[in-house]
Amino acid sequence: YRQSVLDAAVGRELRFVQDNQSESHRHVLRGLHYQTSEPQGKLLHVTEGEIYDVAVDMRQDSPTFGRWAAQRLSSDNHLQLWI
């Protein structure tokens, strides 16, 4: 990622403090990520293969509570998803 491009896309300045990489195999459900205190943003991308990522707003006080978004990320389309 390029910091200035990501900041512009998100609409505010971000500060990365950790970078994790994981490996999955076909037909694997990676799991749910839910934070109740000190929420963190996540920048997702795929270096090999393809995933279908779904994000659901579970914040009960949010005007978008219950809404969801999904994106196919792959090493071919080079898309990134900020959650």
Quote the number of domains for the chain.
Answer: 1
Report pLDDT for 67.
95
Domain for residue 53, yes or no? yes
37 occurs within a structural domain: no
What integer pLDDT is reported at residue 78 of this predicted model? 95
Q: What's the confidence (pLDDT) of residue 82? A: 85
Strand-pairing partners, residue 50, are 74
Query: Which residue has better confidence, 63 or 14?
Result: 63
Long-range contacts of residues 34-38, Cβ cutoff 8 Å, at least 24 apart: 34/58
Q: Which domain holds residue 83?
A: 46-83
Instruction: Enter the tokens of residue 10.
Output: 């998100």
Classify residue 75: in a domain, yes or no. yes
C-alpha distances in angstroms, 71 versus 8, 42, 52, 60?
20, 14, 6, 23
The answer to whether residue 2 sits within a structural domain is no
Structure tokens at 59: 């914040």
Q: Which residues pair with 74 in a beta bridge?
A: 50
Asked whether residue 77 is assigned to any structural domain, the reply reads yes
**Rounded Cα gap, residues 69 and 41, in angstroms:** 15
pLDDT for position 65: 94
Q: What is the pLDDT of residues 31-83, one digit of tens each?
A: 777 777 887 888 889 999 999 999 898 889 999 999 999 999 999 999 998 88
